[in-house]
Amino acid sequence: MAWSTYYLDLTLSPAAFLVMLGYSLQLYIRYKRNPMSTIMGVNNHARRAWVRSIIQDNDKKNILAVQTLRNSIMGSTLLATTAILLSSAVAAFLASSYDVKEKVNSATLGSQTAVSLAVKYMALLAGFLAAFLCYVQSIRYTNHVNFNINLPEYKGDMTIDYVADILERASDFHTIGTRVFYMTIPMLMWIFGPLPLFVSTIVLVPIWYHLDSPLISRSSFVVSDDQETKIENLMF
């Protein structure tokens, strides 16, 4: 019986993490080879078009730019606050009384040793902290865009591309933070055993695939001769 308990941990737990890692790796490769085949590539294309539109008509759209970036910062701040609060909750639970740990132990499937539980809690804590750091970096780069996008002397394509690169990097950090946040769901299930971890991973990956699939095609972007960009039916 003891061996079967450890067998589940030694097979299902690595398999679940390999599934998440494998999907993330193939998504990264697909994004690098054909960005427009992913929602990240489509949204980054839209953001670059938005930056170009704002800079080329800055006198009329400067307030729009500030309000849009402010909303983005508020969203990242909310998620960062949530991540650090959840990290604090996990840390407080780790420091809680022995009786609480015994109740969790009694409900746990798989290995019930103190070391295995510590690994599971630390993995969950590391996930929340990683998400928090990604959101902080997203806020940092979005603030850089705030200061650069309204400068009147920014007229050349090189400068437009530079601001777009900063905004794209902010978006990438936000995406990574959200992805890590999703990964904490199987990590939370891992506390209750390797089987809930594996099942939640199998459920999560199709959800990831649906969220990562583009909602529109490249033909939805229409760029006129004067570089005014129209984006139709785009959902961020």
Dihedral of the alpha carbons of 52, 57, 58, 59, in degrees to the nearest 10: 180
Question: What local confidence, expressed as pLDDT, does residue 156 receive?
Answer: 54
Provide the number of structural domains found in the chain. 1
Question: What span, in angstroms and rounded, lies between the C-alpha atoms of 58 and 90?
Answer: 46
Whether 225 is in a domain gets the answer no
Residue 232: inside a domain: no
Question: If the chain, 236 residues long, is cut into consecutive pieces of 10 residues, what is the mean pLDDT of each piece?
Answer: 63 91 93 89 88 78 78 83 80 59 52 75 88 91 85 63 90 92 89 88 94 68 42 37
Identify whether 203 is part of a domain.
yes
Is 65 within a domain? yes
Range of the domain at 22: 2-216
**The predicted structure's pLDDT at residue 4:** 55
For residues 15 and 194, give the distance between their C-alpha atoms in angstroms, rounded to a whole number: 10
In a domain, 171, yes or no: yes
3-state secondary structure 20-78: HHHHHHHHHHHHHHCHHHCHHHHHHHHHHHHHHHHHHCHHHHHHHHHHHHHHHHHHHHH
24 within some domain: yes
pLDDT at residue number 76: 82
- What's the CA gap between 77 and 30, in Å, rounded? 29
Asked, for residue 228, whether it belongs to a domain, the answer is no
| Residue 233 within a domain | no
The pair phi, psi for residue 38, each rounded to 5°, is -125, 155
Nearest to 211 by CA among 188, 180, 179, 170: 179
At 95 the pLDDT is 58
